[in-house]
Amino acid sequence: MKVKDRVAIITGAGQGIGKAIAFALAREGARVAVTDISGKEVDTAEEIKAFGGEALPLRLDVTNYLGAQKAAKKVHEIFGRIDILVNNAGVYPFKSFEEMEEADWDRVIEINLKGTFNCTKAVLPYMKEQRYGKIINISSIAGTVVGFPNLSHYCASKAGIVGFTRGIALEVAKYGICVNAVAPGPIETPGTLAEVILLNHEEILRNLAESVISGDEEKAKDFARKALEAGIDPLRAINEGLMRGMSRVGDDFSKLKIYLPEVMMAAEAMKAALSILEPAALQKGAGALKKSKVVIGTITGDIHDIGKNIVAMLLRANGFEVYDLGRDVPIDDLIRKAEEVGADIIAASTLLSTSMPYMEDLISLLKERGLRDKYIVMVGGGPVTREWAASIGADGYGDDGEEAVKVAKELLQRVKGK
Ligand code: B12
């Protein structure tokens, strides 16, 4: 199509596809009216003018029919005709159908579908009088070929555009007006990228949590990899993904909604994901601190080690040299290892109230052997509280892995001047 000196209106031309179309037409010599609701139409027009094109920026909310009429009138007054209309303005807010409110649905239909009606109606008298016009409606493969999850309103609007195009094309052909629709596939634009990134991150974190809840090791590994690929901080994947799932498992277990086998499966799934996230977390934090040594273990009688492993991992990620003795560790072993490696900190974890007294025993034994002042003792885990930790004379406590690291660093500086 030769477009030199033709006058084109492009809606939603502030960015993405609309902006690209405006540029393409202007490059071919068309005079373009670039409209948008965002204010970015001014930038588009400036950029077009900068390479010698002719552009008129117009603020337009396509859902407002009177506004569309005014815009068409202005374009006609300034350029003397309207040859081309590209109905491009559209939104695509990702939302599952279950979460979708009536207002979400209405907004997408109003902008994408009714906006197309409004602008077409507004330019028609001019095109009819000229007995010439090209109207191009931007549909999508989402309205013609495939469905997209979390975009049912968008799919409906784009399918509506196709139906509208087919109907009106037959009515106005007699005036020399040609109406068509194009249905692009996914195109990387600033708008789609922002939505996709947000959606991806949330989706990945949700899937990580779900993989733990359902005890699905393969899914856990798969989404741990996806989290890294999508650029999610591994610690965020652990805290906002895996831990969220594990806390739900804990709740369900205490309410007897699930039983031990399910908890074991959840634990395995969490470990599988951690095996992928841990190296990435370590890589990120490596070398952040001058070497200090920590001996850590889950104390006598307790085999819970997920929380302890996370604490150990975060300490490593922050530059500590960590000696992890595993689970169900006798207090004597903790002390012996600390002596052997010249540790700064002994860290004990437990999730069982029945194992908590061994933490107190650890401190008594250190005193008995005249070693109490040699080591910083930190305790933590489900039933352990700050108050209880203080009451047994521990030096530090942490609610979670991040606090454990923070407290370890503070204590090292305060007590050992490191
Ligand atoms: C997973 C799990 C298991 C798994 C453990 C797998 C594994 N390898 O760890 C399995 C299925 C094996 C298991 C077994 C049992 N479990 Co269990 N289990 C859980 C569950 C659901 C989640 C624990 C978990 O991993 N949480 C996630 C981690 C990341 O959190 P966290 O451990 O709290 O760690 C964080 C902080 O506490 C802190 N932290 C942890 N350690 C340390 C250390 C230091 C120094 C510091 C500073 C901080 C710190 O940082 C961590 C990271 O942010 C909890 C319920 C719950 N809501 O906690 C029950 C729970 C701990 N289990 C419980 C019980 C009773 C058992 C069994 C006795 C059941 C049975 N009848 O056999 C056995 C234990 C047998 C034994 N001898 O140890 C009870 C404990 C009750 C109590 N207070 O004593 C709980 C609370 C469930 C309940 N509501 O009844 N369990």
Contact residues for 308 (Cβ-Cβ < 8 A; gap 6+) = 296, 297, 298, 324, 327, 349, 381
pTM exceeds 0.75, yes or no: no
Q: Report the alpha-carbon distance of residue 31 to residue 83 in Å, rounded.
A: 10
- In this structure, the residue with its CA closest to atom 37 of ligand 1 is 381
- In this structure, the residue with its CA closest to atom 69 of ligand 1 is 260
Q: Report the alpha-carbon distance of residue 85 to residue 414 in Å, rounded.
A: 71
Establish whether residue 303 lines the binding site of ligand 1, counting it when its CB lies within 6 angstroms of any ligand atom.
Answer: yes
- In this structure, the residue with its CA closest to atom 35 of ligand 1 is 307
CA 352 – ligand 1 centroid, Å: 7
Beta carbons of 4 and 25 less than 8 angstroms apart: no
Does 154 participate in catalysis according to the annotation?
yes
Q: Where are the beta strands (DSSP E) in 146-207?
A: 177-182
| Six token digits for residue 175 | 């005036």
CA 303 – ligand 1 centroid, Å: 8
| Six token digits for residue 197 | 């990134």
Establish whether residue 268 lines the binding site of ligand 1, counting it when its CB lies within 6 angstroms of any ligand atom.
Answer: no
Can you give the pLDDT at residue 197? Answer: 56
| Positions of the chain with pLDDT lower than 50, given as ranges | 288
Establish whether residue 310 lines the binding site of ligand 1, counting it when its CB lies within 6 angstroms of any ligand atom.
Answer: yes
CA 319 – ligand 1 centroid, Å: 26
Establish whether residue 161 lines the binding site of ligand 1, counting it when its CB lies within 6 angstroms of any ligand atom.
Answer: no
- In this structure, the residue with its CA closest to atom 7 of ligand 1 is 304
Chain position carrying tokens 């002596």: 339
3-state secondary structure of 162: helix
Q: Following DSSP, what letter does each residue of 4-42 receive, concatenated?
A: TT-EEEESSTTSHHHHHHHHHHHHTT-EEEEEESSSHHH
CA 115 – ligand 1 centroid, Å: 56
**Which residue among 126, 154, 323, 397 is the active-site one?**
154
Residue 298, number of CB atoms within 10 A of its CB: 26
Can you give the pLDDT at residue 39? Answer: 93
Which domains does the chain possess?
7-187 (3.40.50.720), 188-285 (1.10.1240.10), 287-418 (3.40.50.280)
CA 302 – ligand 1 centroid, Å: 9
Establish whether residue 241 lines the binding site of ligand 1, counting it when its CB lies within 6 angstroms of any ligand atom.
Answer: no
Beta carbons of 297 and 334 less than 8 angstroms apart: yes
Can you give the pLDDT at residue 418? Answer: 66
Establish whether residue 378 lines the binding site of ligand 1, counting it when its CB lies within 6 angstroms of any ligand atom.
Answer: yes
Establish whether residue 351 lines the binding site of ligand 1, counting it when its CB lies within 6 angstroms of any ligand atom.
Answer: yes
Establish whether residue 105 lines the binding site of ligand 1, counting it when its CB lies within 6 angstroms of any ligand atom.
Answer: no
Residue to substitute in 277, 351, 354, 403 for testing ligand 1 pocket (most ligand atoms within 8 angstroms of CB): 351
- In this structure, the residue with its CA closest to atom 21 of ligand 1 is 250
Contact residues for 161 (Cβ-Cβ < 8 A; gap 6+) = 87, 112, 113, 116, 137, 138, 139, 143, 181
Distance of CA 9 to the CA centre of its chain: 35
Q: Report the alpha-carbon distance of residue 151 to residue 198 in Å, rounded.
A: 14
CA 305 – ligand 1 centroid, Å: 7
The C-alpha angle 343, 285, 205, rounded to 5 degrees, equals: 120
The C-alpha angle 3, 9, 12, rounded to 5 degrees, equals: 125
Strands 31-36 and 133-138 come out as unpaired
3-state secondary structure of 376: strand
Continuous segment of H or E residues that includes residue 367: helix 356-368
Q: Report the alpha-carbon distance of residue 212 to residue 115 in Å, rounded.
A: 44
